[in-house]
Copies of this chain bind each other. A is one copy, B any other.
Amino acid sequence: MSPRTPSQLEVIRQQKIRLIYDVALELFATHGYASTSVSMIARRAGISKGLMYNYFESKEELLRRIVMGGFQQFLGLLKVENERNVKKEEIINFIDENIRLLKRDYNYYKMYFSLTFQPEVFNLLKEEVMQYFMGVMNILVSYYAKRGVPSPLVKARFLFAVFDGIAVHYISDVESFPLDESRDLLIELL
């Protein structure tokens, strides 16, 4: 019998990668990175430990790929029409997109916040996080500066913190946290 074609193999590989990726994301989110063993990931994915290493160089690389993969989405949200003149609708839209991702990629947020508090691991991601952080700050500061707010930087950091507070409370209690209402209250703060 002839070997599988390259495209067949590629399909198999992508499926497996996706599978491992999803399982790992969920486990990292619920148990934390350090407390999630490669064995757990393999068991939950229904594969052998060895196979994970066919697709990911190490547990750490798996984490990095997951975090970076998710980050792309967030970086994508940062676009504004004119950096010098950020419109309120753009901010609102940015918030709403974030809320949408928060609902959809609930696990990703959970994992992301949990990493925030594990300095050793977090250092792996520092650069990207900084990039995103600066992107958000630029937009917000520009927005408040244009409107003559006395301390645009303070206001910007406050707003960012408020958003993350909402996110943290939401992912800690998805069932009953009033996310949409909180979003409205957040918009009022702009």
Which secondary structure characterizes the binding site on chain A? Answer: helix
Q: Does chain B have a CB within 8 A of A34?
A: yes
Stretch among A57-65, A77-85, A113-121 lining the B interface = A113-121
Chain A 102-129: CB-based contact to B (< 8 A → 1; otherwise 0): 0000000010011011111000000000
- Say how far A49's CB is from chain B's closest CB, in angstroms: 12
Contact of A118 among B114, B154, B166 (CB under 8 A): B114
Distance to closest chain B CB from A118 (angstroms): 4
A151 at the interface (CB under 8 A from B): yes
Complex interface: stretch among A16-24, A139-147, A176-184: A176-184
- Asked if A70 is at the interface (CB within 8 A of a chain B CB), the reply is no
Max chain B Cβ within 10 angstroms of own Cβ: one of A116, A161, A181? A161
17 pairs of residues in contact across A and B, judged by CB atoms under 8 Å: A30-B119, A31-B119, A32-B32, A32-B117, A32-B119, A34-B35, A35-B118, A114-B118, A116-B172, A117-B117, A151-B178, A154-B181, A154-B182, A157-B169, A158-B185, A162-B165, A162-B166
Closest 8 CB pairs of A and B: A165-B165, A114-B117, A34-B34, A161-B169, A161-B165, A32-B118, A154-B181, A154-B178
